[in-house]
Amino acid sequence: MPKSFLLAVGILILSGCADSCANAIVSRADSPDGRHSAVLFQRDCGATTGFSTQVSILERGAEPKGGGNVFVADDDHGAAAGGDWGGPWAEMRWLAPDRLRIRYAAKSRLFARKDEVSGVRISYRQVTR
């Protein structure tokens, strides 16, 4: 087989492994001490999946890459109240430099809900909207 054919096949295989999802930032809040940013974003992985709402705690000013490292939810096929961005409604608020509260729509289907990331403790509250 020609080397160019093998190279083309290798590129096709590797491109199939690429992350085809896109993140759109909905809101960002810097911690009171300025060390971290909490970023709420919508993640869209194409026509075969719905939008999800995700939260990451990052170094201040950083952009989310990949999925959320704190909170990941979808609307469970329309069961949860939606946000203006297409995913389930959620909001976040810093309570202290090391404490973040995330409120999210009741009936959201949760895929990730971590209690601590990067030294920040996270509390949660379901909200009926």
pLDDT grade for 58, boundaries at 50, 70 and 90: very high
User: With 80 as the cut, is the pLDDT of residue 83 above it?
Assistant: yes
pLDDT at 92: 98
pLDDT grade for 19, boundaries at 50, 70 and 90: low
Strand 120-127 relative to strand 99-105: parallel, antiparallel, unpaired? parallel
% of residues, the chain, pLDDT over 70: 84
- Please tell me the pTM assigned to this model: 0.83
Helix (H, G, I), strand (E, B) or coil at 3: helix
Domain ranges of the chain: 20-127
Reading the block at residue 23, the tokens are 């993140």
User: With 80 as the cut, is the pLDDT of residue 1 above it?
Assistant: no
For the segment 64-74, what is each residue's pLDDT rounded down to a tens digit? 999 999 999 99
Strand 99-105 relative to strand 90-96: parallel, antiparallel, unpaired? antiparallel
Q: Cα Rg for the chain, rounded, in angstroms?
A: 18
